[in-house]
Structure 1
Amino acid sequence: MSLHPKPDFGVPHETAAVARAAFPRGHAYLRLRDALGPIYTDIQFAGLFARVGQPAACPWRLALITLLQFSENLSDRRAADAVRARIDWKYLLGLDLTDPGFDASVLSEFRSRLVAGEAEALLFDTLLTLCRERGLLAKRGRQRTDATHVLGAVRSLNRLGCAIETLRAALSALAAAAPDWLRAHTDPSWIERYGRSIDDFHIPQGETARRACAEAIGDDGHRLLAAVDAKAAPGWLRNVPAMVVLRRVWLQNFHVAEPPTEGSQGDRRIRWRTEAEGIPAALVMVASPYDPDVYYAKKRATTWIGDTVHLTETCDDAQPPLIVHVATTADPIVDWAVLDPLHAALATKGLLPARHLVDAAYIDADGLVAAARDHDVVLIGPVSKDNQWQARTEGAFTIEAFHLDWDRKIATCPAGHDSRSWHPNYNLGRTVIRIRFAAQHC
């Protein structure tokens, strides 16, 4: 597809007349077009298209349609129908009343071009720039940030369910890619065991029976991996995406148990991985074989599989609220870890606030200091309560009961005794101070 930029962005006279007659009291899309114009231009998207070839649909219109589609939660087909049928859309897009529109597949192709050209942020950044030019963004105003979860388009499975479904997916992929090889290197019983949906898979009750079932599944997967890794097997089988995921899931959920004693006759066995052998952190644990980049997450009482999106919005009294930054993180990443890169991104855009409102999950001592020191931003929000056992135990001493001399690096306890040592340390990636007192004083 090639791009032939068109300079005419005006609204056709007949379209404008019909739209005004249909909406005598005005309409949000009509006001948007009148206030901001077409928003985008074809030349902004020139790098996404070839110089020669079949002419592409106007990318500035496709960009605007993408925003409308998202705001109204429309499928591609319904969005394409809206372009043909709705006068408010035609006015915003500057289309003739008789314009026939386009096939729905054009929208997905346009999104693919944006992703391939790493231009996903172009739509958002262009709109922000235009809002700033129109005076809709106050300089060094007030903003707020909050987070919500983004659900992965996958089924929620426990570890055993994920292992079963991963092996099913691998066998299905090999059946399509190398049916003859698979037929010669698999156990005939696997067809009955893994050929049906996981809903029909019988997982026994009881810890012992479930572990035995898990280890039987682990052995089947291990045998399949061994067959694929054999020298006689075609090398490309190892790179089948479903096999790559299978290897990753098996490493995370199973381990090979050696014979109990050296020289014994026992064979190595595939064992279900428990806390004793080490279960990988949720940040790397595969939750679904069909989307290995979504992970388990939990925030307070809410659990999900997916990501977290952090939305930053202006909240100045004299201006409309506008989203100025969107950050998506793979879970589980704590909210306070997002603030520094968030402020850096806002600084790059020239959109740093003077006051930044957040909830307790974003507040920590380092963040309060860094925001003021590095970006001249006052971070405002509730400080988390002290959840240490000392704060919940009557008669126990909390940190407030100690005097800290930061220059001399000495702490004094409530009884008046000085500390014996003061050492910087790290806990979960954060700097902490470990202070010790003499045993005879405690």
Structure 2
Amino acid sequence: MSLHPEPVNDIPELTQQVAHACFPKPTAPMLIRNELGTLFADPDFAALYAVRGQPALSPWRLMFVTALQFLENLTDRQAANAVRSRIDWKYALGLELTDTGFDASVLSEFRTRLVTGEVEEFALNRLLELCQARNLLRAGGKQRTDSTHVLGAVRQLNRLELLGETVRAALNELAEYDGAWLRTIVAPEWLDRYAHRVEDYRLPRAEVQRNAYLQQATEDGYALLAALNTHPRRAEVLALPLVAVLQQVWDQQCRHTRKGVRPKRLDELPPGAARIESPYDPAARYSIKRQTRWTGFKVHVSESCDDERPHLVTSVATLSTGQVELGAVQHRKI
């Protein structure tokens, strides 16, 4: 899509009249528009759009809608309906009362564009600049940080599932990359063992059988890694994402001894902050905070906490547990 920047127009006169008549005491969206203006302009987002293509909706409005959506905790569909139906939102966005809005999918596409362009913090930075200009933030002021959990978009796997599913994921990737070569090295029994997603209810229940499965998966993984070292394009194939995860998981979970390969004992495993929990999201980590246990990440929110000034969010960072333990969380300098 291409961007054809449009100037930020004043609020239409009829929209102002109706909004003030309906809301003598302005709502939050109206107050934001009155006190802070539009915050953004189309040229701010020019780098996110192509030069040619279908004209895009005004990105400053989509950014404003995204902020209001978060403020009111709305789904995309609810936010799109609010643009169509709510007078105070039309006031904030500078729209005519007859404006029909847009499809809800536009908001998801816009967020993806922000993430792809690595400008996720743009809106917060712009707001903080405005707050500093109005003396709502003090340079060198006090800040505090707290965190909460973010679930990874993966299943929580036990150790048997992790090893089995990691082998299966690598085999699937290799089948797409070089299926002809894979057929020459794959063991016939692997088809039955890894043809379907590895889930605990399909695995043995008895401890002896589960230990045997763990040992077998360990040997299969090592056999696959050994075969990969003989591939004609060794460097290229070892760099495949899921193959690289296979190597990392086996380094963490398994050990090569003079008697052969074996799973590591629990006391030999790396700490949870370093362990991969799923081949499909290697950055997700198993974490515990008080009574909450989850596989995923931590989001850290910092806010100013000066007396006699409003407490404002100054930084938001989503990190893995490993990054947290390495001290990757930093306060924003203001």
Any gaps of 5 or more consecutive residues in structure 2?
none
Structure 1 residue 228 displacement after superposition? 3.4
Structure 1 residue 236 displacement after superposition? 4.8
Is the CA contact (8 Å cut-off) linking 2:8 and 2:41 kept in structure 1? Answer: no
Per the alignment, do residues 287 and 232 of structure 1 end up closer, same or farther by CA in structure 2, a change over 3 Å counting?
same
Is the CA contact (8 Å cut-off) linking 2:148 and 2:300 kept in structure 1? Answer: yes
- Tell me the matched-pair count: 333
Task: State the partner residue of 2:3.
Answer: 3
Is the CA contact (8 Å cut-off) linking 1:310 and 1:326 kept in structure 2? Answer: yes
Task: State the partner residue of 1:201.
Answer: 202
Is the CA contact (8 Å cut-off) linking 1:313 and 1:325 kept in structure 2? Answer: yes
- Among 326, 330, 345, the residue aligned to 2:316: 326
In structure 2, what is the Cα distance between the partners aligned to 1:169 and 1:73?
A: 36
Structure 1 residue 184 displacement after superposition? 4.7
1:236-268 CA-partner distances (Å, limit 9, x unpaired): 544432222122212211122224xxxxxxxxx
Task: State the partner residue of 2:261.
Answer: 270
Per the alignment, do residues 224 and 84 of structure 1 end up closer, same or farther by CA in structure 2, a change over 3 Å counting?
farther
In structure 1, what is the Cα distance between the partners aligned to 2:256 and 2:141?
A: 58
In structure 1, what is the Cα distance between the partners aligned to 2:72 and 2:209?
A: 49
- Return the letter of the residue paired with 1:321: H
In structure 2, what is the Cα distance between the partners aligned to 1:40 and 1:229?
A: 53
1:56-81 CA-partner distances (Å, limit 9, x unpaired): 22121122222233334444444334
Per the alignment, do residues 17 and 302 of structure 1 end up closer, same or farther by CA in structure 2, a change over 3 Å counting?
same
SS in 1 for 2:281: coil
Structure 1 residue 215 displacement after superposition? 1.0
Task: State the partner residue of 2:304.
Answer: 314
Task: State the partner residue of 2:65.
Answer: 65
Bigger Rg over Cα: 1
In structure 2, what is the Cα distance between the partners aligned to 1:34 and 1:13?
A: 14
1:343-402 CA-partner distances (Å, limit 9, x unpaired): xx32xxxx2xxxxxxxxxxxxxxxxxxxxxxxxxxxxxxxxxxxxxxxxxxxxxxxxxxx
Per the alignment, do residues 214 and 71 of structure 1 end up closer, same or farther by CA in structure 2, a change over 3 Å counting?
farther
SS in 2 for 1:328: strand
Structure 1 residue 272 displacement after superposition? 0.4
Per the alignment, do residues 104 and 167 of structure 1 end up closer, same or farther by CA in structure 2, a change over 3 Å counting?
farther
Per the alignment, do residues 196 and 86 of structure 1 end up closer, same or farther by CA in structure 2, a change over 3 Å counting?
farther
1:264-317 CA-partner distances (Å, limit 9, x unpaired): xxxxx32101256x4223333111111111122234554332222332223345
Per the alignment, do residues 212 and 320 of structure 1 end up closer, same or farther by CA in structure 2, a change over 3 Å counting?
same
In structure 2, what is the Cα distance between the partners aligned to 1:14 and 1:64?
A: 21
Task: State the partner residue of 1:298.
Answer: 288
Is the CA contact (8 Å cut-off) linking 2:277 and 2:295 kept in structure 1? Answer: yes
Task: State the partner residue of 1:413.
Answer: none
Task: State the partner residue of 2:145.
Answer: 145
Structure 1 residue 112 displacement after superposition? 3.3
SS in 1 for 2:210: helix
- Return the letter of the residue paired with 1:165: E
Task: State the partner residue of 1:158.
Answer: 158
Is the CA contact (8 Å cut-off) linking 1:15 and 1:91 kept in structure 2? Answer: yes
In structure 2, what is the Cα distance between the partners aligned to 1:143 and 1:234?
A: 50
- Which moved further from structure 2: 175-184 or 51-60? 175-184
SS in 2 for 1:62: helix
Structure 1 residue 94 displacement after superposition? 1.4
SS in 2 for 1:148: strand
Aligned-residue CA RMSD (Å): 3.0
**Match runs of 1:326-405 below 5 Å:** 326-332=316-322, 337=327, 341-342=330-331, 345-346=332-333, 351=334
In structure 1, what is the Cα distance between the partners aligned to 2:193 and 2:149?
A: 35
Is the CA contact (8 Å cut-off) linking 2:273 and 2:325 kept in structure 1? Answer: no
The normalised TM-score by structure 1 is 0.66
1:111-153 CA-partner distances (Å, limit 9, x unpaired): 3333333322211100111122234334555443322232222
- Return the letter of the residue paired with 2:206: Q
Structure ranking higher in helix proportion = 2
- Return the letter of the residue paired with 1:273: K
- Return the letter of the residue paired with 2:264: R
The normalised TM-score by structure 2 is 0.85
- Return the letter of the residue paired with 1:320: P
Is the CA contact (8 Å cut-off) linking 1:204 and 1:213 kept in structure 2? Answer: no
In structure 2, what is the Cα distance between the partners aligned to 1:195 and 1:336?
A: 39
- Return the letter of the residue paired with 1:187: A
- Return the letter of the residue paired with 2:304: T
Is the CA contact (8 Å cut-off) linking 1:145 and 1:310 kept in structure 2? Answer: yes
